[in-house]
Amino acid sequence: MNEQIKQLAIESKLIAPEYNGFDHTRLSISQQKFAELIVLECMRMCEVTEMSFVTHDCDVEASGAITVKQFIAEHFGVES
């Protein structure tokens, strides 16, 4: 599991941090998939934003939207 997703799960009290050597930090497969789908949707919105900027001849802004998408992908370890 990606460390960023794990930390968010701990902060939201979805999972507990390690206690006395017993690892309580494992998210279920469905919980991990849910988190991944949220990240993918954020990345998709970056693509929608890019297309809007391209349509309005705002190339610098379009490039920024794609850069943000790449940062999100790297931060959460998700591929589109």
Asked if 17 contacts 30 with a C-beta cutoff of 8 angstroms, the reply is no
Which residue, among 35, 37, 36, 46, has the nearest Cα to 69 in the 3D structure? 46
The more confidently predicted of residues 21 and 4 is 4
Q: What's the pLDDT score for residue 60?
A: 96
- Give the chain's mean pLDDT: 89
**Residue 31: partners with Cβ closer than 8 Å, 6 or more residues away:** 9, 14
Name the residue with tokens 């900027």: 53
Comparing 19-23, 30-34, 65-69, 73-77, which segment has the lowest mean pLDDT? 19-23
Give per-residue pLDDT as tens, 57-69.
999 999 999 999 9
The more confidently predicted of residues 28 and 60 is 60
**Residue 32: partners with Cβ closer than 8 Å, 6 or more residues away:** 1, 5
